[in-house]
Structure 1
Amino acid sequence: MAFSADELAHHPNFLASIRLLAGDMRGMFDAAPRLARLLASHQRWLLTQTAYALSLQHDPEDASTGFTAVALTARITDYKVASRNTVLNFIDELLTYRFIAHTPGEERRRPRHFEPAEVSHQAMYGWFLSNLTALDLIDEGNRAACFQANPELMRLAHPLIAENCLHNDGWREPPEQVGLFLWTEAGGMVVDHLISRIDLQSCDGERYSVGRIETRNLAGDFMMSRTHLQRLFAKAVQQGCLGWYDEPKKTQLWLSKAFLQNYCGWQAIKFAYVDQAFEFAKTQIEQDPVRFAVCA
């Protein structure tokens, strides 16, 4: 039985799961910075997930299916996530860095179909595995192990996750405090880093300790200007998202409990869709015992 978003948001283990996922996302960035930046702002997250879902749905016998510029533009502009030019620039960037390629044999056809490079498949596999591992932390489940034994679950589950997240305005439009970070270039990486550092035992009722933060080093890590990061932090302080224990030195950071509750409530929407899609995909392949590796 999959969790609902409300069950996840109020589960006592959910913040620990969020912190685990945030640490995994920071590790993904360290391993492949340019690729990880595709998930580093909410707009790019929606673009990337939608594009990948379209690629998984490609039927070679049906030219209207799959990842094309027309299909991605239509899906994204329908929900006012980005303009047509932004979508086309995004596709050009994916091609430039070889995260996607034209589907072999279709380079001259219209519409042109794209398919993910192996590095992109691996990154999305890692993203899905990390989300399942975080869910397992909540209820001591075996989703991650089941997925590793049955990787074809991805093709069935991922398009459902991407479509549901894009359709849900609660996920598509994060709460104001959360959006402050996520609508900013590299802001998603900043949030992941801060949440991965929180001390779960440090809550004094209103805030959690993050520890020592050096803005110069953090900006350098994420390939953003220090001025941009400082402005982001200043706005977050004004909105009560975070603050410093040691004004005016500004080295020891805290995150507010209210901000984390907002963030967890927003993340719970996506996690619920991940859990539901996993259960659906698992049920589908269980019907084919030759393909399915039984999950203990």
Structure 2
Amino acid sequence: MAFTAEQLAGNCSFLLSIRFLAGQMRGMFDAGPRLARLLASHQRWLLTQTAYALNLEYDPRDPTSGFTAVRLTGRITAHKVASRNTVLAFIEELYTYRFIVHTPGDERRRPRHFEPADVSHQAMFAWIHSNLGALDLLDGGHRAAFFQANPSLMRLVQPRVARHCLEDAAWREPPEQVALFLWTEAGGLVVDNFIARMDTESGEAGRYSVGRVETRALAADFMMSRTHLQRLLAKAAQRGCVGWDDEPRKAHLWISRDFVEQYCAWQAVKFAYVDEAFEWAKAQFEEMAV
């Protein structure tokens, strides 16, 4: 039985699962920084997941199916996630950095189909595997191990997660404090960094200590401008999401309990869809194996 978003958000151990996933995402970033940045803003996350799902849903009998510019644009603009020009620029970037390739034989055809390169397949598999591992921490389950042993589940799990997340406004439109970070370039990396580092035992006065944060080093680490990061933190501080223990030096950061609770509730929506898709796919897989 899959967890619901409400069950996850109300689970006192869920924060540990989110911290685990944040650490896994950091590992993915270290392994491939440019590719990891595709999941580091919410808009790009939605674009990436939807594009990948379209590819897995390709039906050779239907030339209009699969990952094409028209299909991705249609699905994304229908939910007002990005403009047509943004979608086309995103596809061009993916192709330039060889994260996607033309489907063999489609180079001169219309519509032109794309498919993920091997490195993109590996990254998406790792993302789902990490989410399942985070869920396993809550109930001692074996989702990640089963997924690892049966990689063909990918074709069932990922499109279902992507579709549900895109269609659900609770995930598509993060709460205000979370959106402040997630709608900005590399904002997801910054949040993951803070969540992974925060001291969960230090939640006095509605805040958690993150520790020493040097904006110059952090910005360089995530390939973003220091000015952009400083403006982001200044906006977050104005709204009470973060603050500094040592004004005016601003070296030791804290993150508010309210922000963490909003973030956990938002993440719970996605985790519930991952769990539901896995349980559904596993049932399909076992039924076919009989």
Q: Same fold (TM over 0.5)?
A: yes
Q: Deviations over 1:19-50 (max 9, x none)?
A: 11011111111111110110110000000000
* Residue correspondence of structure 1 range 48-67 to structure 2 within 5 A: 48-67=48-67
Separation in 2, partners of 1:289, 1:60 = 25
| Identical pairs, percent | 70
Deviations 1:37-79 (A, max 9, x none): 1011000000000000000011112112110001000000000
Instruction: Provide structure 1 residue ranges, at least 5 long, that are not aligned to the other structure.
Output: 291-296
Instruction: Report the 3-state secondary structure (helix = DSSP H, G, I; strand = E; otherwise coil) of the residue aligned with 1:61.
Output: coil
Which deviates the most, 117-126 or 53-62? 53-62
Determine the structure 2 residue equivalent to 1:267: 267
1:196-242 Cα distance to aligned partner (Å, 9 max, x none):
11112221151111111111100000111111111100110111111
The aligned runs of 1:96-135 (5 Å cut-off) are: 96-135=96-135
Summarize deviations over 1:142-172 as a string: whole Å, max 9, x none: 1000101111111101101000000001111
| CA displacement 1:77-111 (0-9 Å, x = unmatched) | 00000000100000000100000001001111111
Which residue of structure 1 lines up, in the alignment, with residue 85 of structure 2?
85
Q: Identify the residue that residue 2 of structure 2 maps to in structure 1.
A: 2
Structure 2 CA distance for aligned equivalents of residues 211 and 142 of structure 1: 34
Q: What residue number does 1:229 align with?
A: 229
In the alignment, residue 33 of structure 1 is paired with which amino acid? P
User: Which one-letter code corresponds to 2:133 in the other structure?
Assistant: T
Q: State the match for 1:178 in structure 2.
A: 178
State how far apart, in whole Å, the 2-side matches of 1:176 and 1:165 are: 18
Matches for 1:108-257 after TM superposition, within 5 Å: 108-257=108-257
Instruction: State the distance in 1 between where 2:16 and 2:200 align.
Output: 8
Inter-partner Cα distance in structure 1 for 2:154 and 2:269: 19
Residue 289 of structure 1 deviates from its aligned partner by 2.5
Q: Does 1:24 align with 2:24?
A: yes
The structure that is helix-richer by fraction is 2
* Rounded Cα–Cα distance in structure 2 between residues aligned with 1:274 and 1:201: 29
Deviations 1:244-273 (A, max 9, x none): 111111111111100000000000000000
Question: TM-score by structure 2 length?
Answer: 0.98
Deviation at residue 288 of structure 1 after TM alignment: 2.6
Count of paired positions: 290
When the two structures are superposed, what TM-score results if normalisation uses the length of structure 1? 0.97
Q: What is the one-letter code of the residue matched to 2:117? A: A
Contact 1:16 1:200 in 2 (8 A): no
Q: Does 1:38 align with 2:38?
A: yes
User: Structure 2 unaligned runs (5+)?
Assistant: none
Q: Which amino acid aligns with 2:17?
A: S
In 2: Cα distance, 1:79 partner to 1:120 partner = 24
2:151 counterpart letter in structure 1: P
